[in-house]
Amino acid sequence: MAQKTFLIAGAAGNTGRSASMELLKRGVSVRALVRTRDDRAAQLVAAGAEVVVADLLDADVVRKSFKGIEGAYFVYPIIPHLIEAASYFVEAARTEGVESVVNMSQISSRRDAQSHAARDHWVVERLFDWSGLSVTHLRPTLFAQNFLDPESLRAIIHRGVISFPFGVARHAPLAAEDQGRLIASIFADPAPHRGKTYPLHGSVEFDYFEIAELIGKAVGKPVRYDAADIEEWRARAPLPAFLVQHLCAIAVDYQAGIFSGTDTVIEDVTGTAPMTFEDFLHSHKNEFDRALQLNSTIAGAR
């Protein structure tokens, strides 16, 4: 009997890489879709994945990548053309008779979402539902990995400030590693999860004042939270317009509690509870140490 192969979109990203590594640990084959052959792609090859360079907006490449696939994970960054990419993904999955799909949506996904990205995710959920595929939707809260972006982390360390327009509400940061374990577990036994939509959270809620304090302890210097005004933050955010629109819209949702809460989905399905934010910081100590070292090097060169 041929070994099952699972296709992972966005395999160089946080959740795609985590899902790929978890599947490989379980002894199944992974076809990892990446945008470029970089160090992250090389790590996937070293772990045993079949790496394919693919743009999800290239329908022909997407269709070819589905040959011989048992299940597929769909994820797309916060950029335009999500619905187009999902349409090609659905067409290829249906054509090749894929048995199960896990779709990464957003916790703020809904028909009347003010975030263009979140509204597009709601439409994509419906596309998958109407396709007849066996699909499971994941709606995660904000990821703990958001604090590991090298440039953002160096800025936080340099300034000692986290500035977001998220007010004083709370959420339980979710580690991509925990979502990766969930994805692999769903693929192992997809039937109980068919048609389900799972909100996903970490184990313990924090507000950003507490998050800043914990990050300060991790980097060994005080870090405080600046609860920025949404419009003032919008005016100075050095980010693409589509992403800024999304972040400002979900800031309203965040302050309304849409990202708050905890759940037992990951523990129920995988048998292990998601890590706390403190656990996450400890497990990624090397990234924080590298950022600290680079920050010191840059400061010393001035």
Q: How do the pLDDT tens digits run along the chain, 302 residues long?
A: 467 999 999 999 999 999 999 999 999 999 999 999 999 999 999 999 999 999 999 999 999 999 999 999 999 999 999 999 999 999 999 999 999 999 999 999 999 999 999 999 999 999 999 999 999 999 999 999 998 887 888 888 889 999 999 999 999 999 999 999 999 999 999 999 999 999 999 999 999 999 999 999 988 889 999 999 999 999 999 899 999 999 999 999 999 999 999 999 999 999 999 999 999 999 998 887 776 776 555 444 44
pLDDT recorded at residue 268:
97
Which CATH architecture best describes the domain 146-170+203-260+276-300?
Answer: Alpha-Beta Complex (3.90)
> Where along the chain do its domains lie?
5-141+176-200, 146-170+203-260+276-300
Place of tokens 């299940």: 71
- Superfamily the domain 5-141+176-200 falls into: NAD(P)-binding Rossmann-like Domain (3.40.50.720)
Tallying the residues shown for the chain, one arrives at 302
- Residue 221, φ and ψ in degrees, nearest 5: -155, 155
User: pTM for the whole thing?
Assistant: 0.94
Residues ≥6 apart with Cβ < 8 Å to 67: 96
